[in-house]
Amino acid sequence: MPTKRAPRVQRALRLAMGTALCLAASFGLALPIPFLAPVLGLLFLATLNHPLPFKAGLTLALVAMLTTGVGLLLIPILRYYPLSGVLLIGAGLFLVFRAGLRGANNLIVTLLIIGLTMIPSAGTADFGLAIMVIGALVKGLLLAVMVVSFSHWLFPEPANAASPPAAPALPTDEVARVALRATLIVLPTFLLALIDPASYLPIILKAVSLGQQSSTTTARNAGRELLGSTLLGGLLAILFWCALSLFVHLWMFFLWMLLFGLLLARKLYALSPTRQSPGFWLNSMITLIILLGQSVQDSLAGKDVYTAFAVRMGLFIAVTLYACLMVQLLDQQRQNRSVTQPDH
């Protein structure tokens, strides 16, 4: 008879196993942008406590088609009318973030943000690169959905498990401000990617993660939440790389990812309680996957892995510091406005 585990234990095992399987399968199949599938799989597993039904999978596929279509349509506008194109993308990001804060599906929001940023920035430099990003998004999404279904079969949710409490809703008058803050975090990184998309596409994915994490961050804990999770992700990526260097093999890649995933999942699901929020641990894991995936690709391409990692980590820290600055400035502006408003 199978041992009955607590729901949080099942979820931690499922998240670690699913993320490791996504990572190993993505690199083993040599998918383009191979770290995209494990990031999507991680978001699916952290967001959903049930396998994706057929209708939901179909909806995600339609959203991916819509996302890629909108991204392709924005390419000529960015090429010939760059200011108008950037303003359109900024407005689109604001609307998508606002929809997410009002209760829209986080997975759909993430796909829309990726489509609004990664595809146009790639296509502005090279249309073939945009097609490659679309292929990576579709293949990564399909792989993530299959692995999520397998992970739920392997570690099913207990029948009597209570649903996790819903995130507290923001006050209506705060939604626009927080959506604007998230947009201002992502948009400069998008502009940076327009200069050299091949090098800066991973930075966009990091900025998207920071933009979503900033929605639940206040000025008081912004440094600890945003910068702390980025630094921890970088440290874990270094430790992972050193461990993988002892014996380089795809199976070891999977096993080390499983181990690191279990350690972080214990924190994420409060099996080992900490003062940090679940968003802190989720962002740390996303940072680990992006940095590690890029280092593996640099190694395969014969690049100097350590120099490339140092540059990328420096960019990650710069983007995170900018995100902290946006949180501080907009929160300070709100406080000043509330002080100057007369009481009624």
Confidence of residue 220 (pLDDT cuts 50, 70, 90): low
Helix (H) or strand (E) holding 140: helix 127-154
The pLDDT mean for the chain works out to: 83
Identity at 267, one-letter amino acid code: K
Predicted confidence (pLDDT) at residue 214 exceeds the cutoff of 70? no
pLDDT band at 2 (very low <50, low <70, confident <90, very high): very low
6 with 136: CB under 8 angstroms?
no
Residue 249 CA to residue 259 CA, distance in Å, equals 15
3 state SS for 53-96: CHHHHHHHHHHHHHHHHHHHHHHHHHHHCHHHHHHHHHHHHHHH
- 267-277, pLDDT tens digit by residue? 998 888 888 88
The string of pLDDT tens digits covering residues 3-44 is 567 888 899 999 999 999 999 999 999 898 899 999 999 988
Q: Which residues contact 12 (CB under 8 A, 6 or more apart)?
A: 262, 265, 266, 268, 269, 271
**pLDDT-derived band at 174, boundaries 50, 70, 90:** confident
> pLDDT for 151-160, tens place per residue?
999 988 876 6
Q: How many whole angstroms from its chain centre is CA 9? A: 23
Q: Which residues contact 26 (CB under 8 A, 6 or more apart)?
A: 34, 35, 36, 37, 38, 140, 143
Name residue, tokens 């739920």.
152
**Contact assessment for residue 211 and residue 203, using Cβ atoms and an 8 Å cutoff:** no
Does 142 score more than 60 pLDDT? yes
Backbone angles phi, psi at 343, to 5 degrees: -75, 145
Share of the chain above pLDDT 70, in %: 88
The predicted pLDDT at position 196 comes to 77
Give the C-alpha distances (Å, rounded to integers) separating 123 from 66, 128, 183: 16, 7, 21
pTM over 0.85: yes
For residue 342, pLDDT over 60 is answered with no
